[in-house]
Amino acid sequence: MKEKYIEDLKEIKDIMNRSSRFISLSGLSGISAGICALVGAYMAYQTVYMDQNYLGYRRAFLNPETFTQLLLIAVVTLIAALGTGIYFTTRKTKKQNQKIWDTQTKRLLINLAIPLVAGGILCIMLLDKGYVGIVAPLTLVFYGLALINASKYTLDEIRSLGLLEVALGLVAIQFIGYGLLFWAIGFGVLHIVYGVIMQLKYKS
C-alpha cells in the first residue's frame, strides 16, 4: 500500500513537471552542439590568425572580408547546432509521446531569445567597430544569462550550465587574447560534458 502511494506521488509529480516545464531536451543535442561549436571555433581561428607565426605574437586583423567570413562561420555553426539540436530533441519528444510545440516550449524560447538577441546585436555592433577581443567573452555571458532566464521552464541542469557560461565569460574578459579559446571551451567542451551528463541521467 505504501509503495503504491509513493508511485502515485511520483506520477503526480511527473505530470506536474510535464505541464509546467519542457523536459524533453536530449543529451545528444548538447553533444552535437558542442561538436559544431568546436568545428566553428577552429574555422574562426584559421580565419583570424591565418598566415601568422604560431610561435610568435599574433594579432587579430578584422578587415571587411574577414568580418564577412566570421559572420558566415557563425551563421553556419548556429544553423548546424540548432538543426542537430532540434532533430535529437524532436526524436526524444516523439519517444516520450509528448508535443514538441506547446505553451512551455513557447515560454522557453521567448525567455531564451531575449538575452540572446540583445547580446547578438551588441556583439555585431562591437565587431563592426573593431572590438574583436571582447566579443567572444560577451557571447558567453549573454548565452549564460539566456540559459538562466529560460531555466525555469526546463530542466534544472540548464541553470547550472548557464552559471558556468557566465563565469567563464567573465574570466575570459580578463584574458582578452584568449577569447576564442574560452569560447571553444564554453560552447564546445561544456556543451559536450553537459550533453553526456544529461544523456546518462535522463536516458530514454
Hey, what amino acid is at 85? G
Q: Where are the chain's structural domains?
A: 24-201
- pLDDT higher than threshold 80 for residue 186: yes
Distance CA 71, CA 184 (A): 16
pLDDT band at 164 (very low <50, low <70, confident <90, very high): very high
Hey, what amino acid is at 70? L
This prediction has a pTM of: 0.75
Distance CA 102, CA 166 (A): 29
Phi, psi of 169 (to 5 degrees): -65, -40
Opening angle at CA 14, ends 11 and 15, nearest 5:
90
Q: What is the pLDDT of residue 56?
A: 43
Phi, psi of 97 (to 5 degrees): 55, 45
Q: What is the pLDDT of residue 78?
A: 81
* 154: region left, alpha or beta (phi > 0 left; psi from -120 to 50 alpha): beta
CB 86 within 8 A of CB 2: no
DSSP 70-138: HHHHHHHHHHHHHHHHHHHHHHHHHHTT--SSSHHHHHHHHHHHHHHHHHHHHHHHHHHTT--TTHHHH
pLDDT band at 20 (very low <50, low <70, confident <90, very high): very low
Opening angle at CA 137, ends 156 and 71, nearest 5:
105
CB 157 within 8 A of CB 113: no
